[in-house]
Structure 1
Amino acid sequence: MRTVDLNSDLGEGLGSWGMGDDDALLDIVTSANVACGYHAGDPSIMRRVSEHATRIGVAIGAHVAYRDLAGFGRRFIDVDAATLRDEVTYQIAALAGIARLAGGTVSYVKPHGGLYNAIVTHESQAAAVVAAVKDFDPGLTLMGLPGSAVLRLAQEAGLPVAHEAFADRAYTPEGHLVSRKEPGAVLHDPEEIGRRCIAMATGEPIQDINGDPLTLQPDSICVHGDTPGAVAIARSLRSALEGAGVGLSPFTRVG
């Protein structure tokens, strides 16, 4: 039976401002990308999400980002490589400490937003992220876009990697994400999302933004927690995958 991981970006509130329904999504997904305070999140939110994830056996990942609270981490920042390396290290270490107090452990790293998109092609920033992960813990899995510079450099450095696809995002013919500024970049129809994800999980092609076939074969599929109707979409997606005989399981260790 084909098995795939289902992940979501969680803990993206800040102080008294909430973002998404973390508790509901944790009961659906198998891996939680926990914001580490640079684009969103704070220590109390990090601990709450980590405790819930640990209690129910959901894998915890460090969702690292540019230092960009005002832009929610979605803007490109031309930060030098040494600074970026240290900022990524700082975020991983912060979540790792909180996860340990919650009884769990960080098992992977997933960059967020502008940083995620930049290191598809930006060699020096990709190398900085890889250096941060390897220096902190070479056993951590680095998750990213298939064919990206960061996954290539991670593999060259001996890091385990995971290929990610997005349930609710459109793709270019090159397998990159269509910019959120473009029409049709974000999908909202649960049935369409379910069909696409079943195809991804079973090795069948989906349609890119031009309507041409594109095969992804991900280790993990992301459903965003901050989009309207995220919980309903995630619940529908899980049901569709299980109904198609696709098992759901974290791609890395838990606890």
Structure 2
Amino acid sequence: MTEIAIAPARPRFNWANFFRRVGWLETVGIVGVLLITLVALFAPWLTPFDPQLRVDAAYLPPTLAHWFGTDEIGRDLFSRVILGVQYTWLPGLGVILFSLIFGSIIGLIAGSAGGRIDMLIQRVIELFLVLPSTLIALAVVAALGPGLFNTMIAIAIFWWPWYARISRDEIRRLQKRPHVEAARVAGVRGPRLLLRYLLPGAIPSLLVAATLDVANIIMTMSLMSFLGLGQPAPAPELGAMTSRALDSLTVYWWLPILPAVVIFFMCLLANLAGDGIRAALRGA
């Protein structure tokens, strides 16, 4: 039987009209996220001073020489915050990427297989979703030992089910679409049907969920770091820097406040960017 060419479903996304579909605030968020990513990637080359070495007197307030002041041993706080963005932002993106890929694959299998396989995978997903994920993640890190990689593992274990559920639901919905039915009639089966006709249609929903999840991941990783379960000192993690300086809040306010403000703006820009991408995909 001759296979009929059927146009696959593709993500409804047009780069040419992208910024026309989002407001100026969301555009600020998208540009901000791109800048944060660049800062995280090139952080060691952007720090004006060595983040680990004493460069001036201790407890200096913010000045033109030291924009964020100096810490308890005279290290430049601005340099440490820049490196702290790398310790927080890139691992957060890594957790999102792993969860997105792994969860999407699990959802593809469940949605396309149906029957008992789908039922079994759904029960596993529901089990992960009803567990107190943050508490268990804390327990996992406590058992494995403090460290950035262990924190990423603990969070990723409980993050992928959300993407698996979205992927599964999208695949089940797309299987009833006319272009998929036409592809089946034309003889398209197996991995080709999944990858060419089903997965592209699920990508927009997965992408929106991932972009909106960045802020949640950043907050969760910062919480772990704040509780002392992140990278051991003297690594400049933003949450740990805030936690260690809380006793100095009323005297040397810049030590806990400025790293926390950076976390706040990272989450704010990530949420704005997620809203912008959602608006662009829905308006395509």
Report if TM-score (shorter chain) is over 0.5.
no
Select the structure with the greater relative contact order (CA < 8 A; seq sep ≥ 6): 2
- Pick the structure with more strand per residue: 1
Give TM-score, length-normalised by structure 1: 0.25
- Pick the structure with more helix per residue: 2
Give TM-score, length-normalised by structure 2: 0.23
